[in-house]
Amino acid sequence: MTLALDGAPARTEIQDRRVRARRVTLGLIAILIVTSAISVSVGASQASLITAVSDLIQGRPLSDLNRVVLWDVRLPRLAMGVLVGAALAVSGVVMQGLFRNPLADPGIVGVSAGAGLGAITAIVFGGLLPVTLLAWVGDGLIALAAFLGGWASVLILYRVSTRQGQTSVATMLLAGIALAALFGAVTGVMVYLADDQQLRDLTFWGMGSLAGANWAKVATAAPIILASIIYTQFLARALNGLAMGEAIAHHMGIPVQRSKNIAVLTVAGATGAAVAVSGGIGFIGIVVPHLLRLSTGPDHHRLLMNSALLGATLLLCADMISRVIVAPAELPIGIVTAILGAPVFFWILLRRHGQMRM
Amino acid sequence: MMQAKNIRARLGRKDVLHGVEFTAQPGQVTAIIGPNGSGKSTLLKTLSGELVGTGTVLLNGHDIEELRAWELAAMRGVLPQQTTVAFPFTVHEIVRLGLSSGLAAAEEDLPSQALAHVDLAGFENRSYQNLSGGEQQRVQLARVLTQVWEARDQDQPRWLLLDEPVASLDIAHQFTVLGIARDFAAKGGGVVVVMHDLNLTALFADLVYVLSEGRMWMSGTVSEVLNIETMKQVYGIDLPINTLPPTDIPFVLPQALSG
């Protein structure tokens, strides 16, 4: 009757998706490099990456055109695209792990809206702060406000939609709608109160764009986004455990409450910083993790890093489309990601139809 | 030794446990039985550290509230009644989660060995979400076994806490799983198991605690606990208890629909 605990098990060739995930990482790095090079080369102006690189190699000074277009316009835009794309994708992975649901995305459940409201509040009312304080925080004020807005949204969402460690999909999505409506209303008030210049800033927020990229914005967002992305790498095991619920994660030895706190803070940090510099860009956080889970499985150890790489690449591609499709004008990138991303969202909904627990 | 003193627990507005005392010894299978809603699962959740009630739970002499999550995880594994997994993990990926982080290469083989023990050899690449309830339950047991592989850690026993581990299993696999529990105890580990099936409890448990309405009704060996009085007072049903020679293990066999 008793089963021998040390019997020899039958050998099975284990299909180890971790190996494939490592290969995917290398492939994604290569694709990101190529995409970056193309992204710097493409644009309305005749500036050329090749002449710039050959000038640099041969020690010649850059032409004025190349210096302005490449160094002041396209490179900061590239850096911001990479940072924002990576931040949104990683935020998506962490939120989906935290909420145990592939539909949780900062854009869909109102976290981006919360961060946007924070940013808008800073734009409209920032001028009311004491001058010394303003001088001290500088450009960081909008980022800080966006972070606080995003943080509050994730906390509210989690509190409302999670009972005894299990998240209800329906409640989460409905709470997201309620949050977005509330934030929309408050944003409306802000628009009503704003002057002309602020109004232009606010419109830009709504649609999301990398057009305003400059090195100052990159310098504001980079530390927060990079720190968040690096920090999330330590959440991989916790997110894997949380996929089975908070109780089992606790049984497995995962410090559940601390992991949840870190997850919420990193999502708020990455989303907040991304929204602060680029406005509301949607769907990256849902499309990227979903594609990667299909290819290499849901293990968060690789999913986090690969999502950062693919998110950056996809956002650069969307940015190129937004620059080229109506050139010399520019389509806001948020519109491009929505057109590409919304069908994927529907596709996920259809695939989940029948197994979705409300 | 596992020792719980004066455990009180509340779920919502309802007091579920009213000062329960509980002791389990390593080397034994200790069963907790009782009717639906008597507080069995709540007691197990308190023993596992998942639910913080009032009272003290000592595991190998340590107050579990003072242990860190990973220290507790190195001492005991917990199998809940049922587990839903949010993403499409494979069976191997699920079982592998039982390995602690920073594992040695030698441990890479443990998940497959654990799967073989629960009679799921060759299931490694299957999608967890497509398995039957009973198969999922055995995969989860394999994950727990991977977590507490050796029944003893140096001179300290490890513990398995199982919440109705055989509820969704066919009769052969009920014996497989309870056999694993017995074997773990035989190797010096401790097993605490919440059970509904009284006959299986009689076959596998060394010590039985009977819970009734959040209070410990009685405890003792199977022969001491399983009697007509317990059936009547705790379960509210008149059922004869018979015994099987040669060991005189008691068994309950209903012979008519009205008890």
Q: Which pLDDT tens digit goes with each residue over A12-34?
A: 677 778 888 889 999 999 999 99
Q: What is the three-class DSSP state of B76?
A: strand
In this complex, the residue of A11, A243, A253 whose CB is nearest that of residue B85 is A243
- Return the ∠ at Cα A149 (arms to A148 and A150), rounded to 5°: 90
Structure tokens at B167: 């509820």
Chain A residues touching residue B89 (CB < 8 angstroms): 243, 297-299
Distance CA A107, CA A279 (A): 11
Task: Tell me the CB-side half-sphere exposure of residue A96, using CA atoms within 13 A.
Answer: 30
Q: How far is CA A146 from CA A152, A194, A207, B5, in A?
A: 10, 18, 16, 49
Q: How far is CA A223 from CA A77, A189, A228, A270, A307, in A?
A: 16, 32, 8, 10, 19
Determine whether the interchain pair A250/B69 forms a contact, defined as Cβ–Cβ distance below 8 Å: yes
pTM value is: 0.87
Q: Quote the distance between the C-alpha of residue B225 and its chain's center.
A: 19
Distance CA A315, CA A225 (A): 15
Distance CA B151, CA B142 (A): 14
What is the band of A7 on the pLDDT scale with cuts at 50, 70, 90? very low
Which residues of chain B fall below pLDDT 70? 101-106, 256-259
Q: Within 10 A of A174 (CB to CB), how many other CB atoms are there?
A: 14
Chain A residues touching residue B83 (CB < 8 angstroms): 244-245, 248
- Which of A154, A303, A304 is CA-nearest to residue A232? A304
- Rg, C-alpha atoms of chain B: 18
- Return the ∠ at Cα A207 (arms to A202 and A213), rounded to 5°: 80
What is the band of A11 on the pLDDT scale with cuts at 50, 70, 90? low
Distance CA B200, CA B189 (A): 20
Please, are residues A183 and A117 in contact by the beta-carbon 8 Å criterion?
yes
In this complex, the residue of A11, A252, A297 whose CB is nearest that of residue B73 is A252
What is the band of A241 on the pLDDT scale with cuts at 50, 70, 90? very high
- Look at residue A10 and tell me whether its pLDDT is greater than 50: no
A244–chain B Cβ distance below 8 A for any pair: yes
Q: How far is CA A21 from CA A18, A262, B110, B138, in A?
A: 5, 25, 22, 28
A46–chain B Cβ distance below 8 A for any pair: no
Tell me what pLDDT residue A26 has: 95
User: Which tens digit of pLDDT belongs to each residue from B76-87?
Assistant: 999 998 888 989
Determine whether the interchain pair A241/B97 forms a contact, defined as Cβ–Cβ distance below 8 Å: yes
Distance CA A39, CA A60 (A): 24
Chain B residues touching residue A247 (CB < 8 angstroms): 45, 50, 78, 80
In this complex, the residue of B83, B90, B183 whose CB is nearest that of residue A248 is B83
Pairing of strands B152-153, B156-157: antiparallel
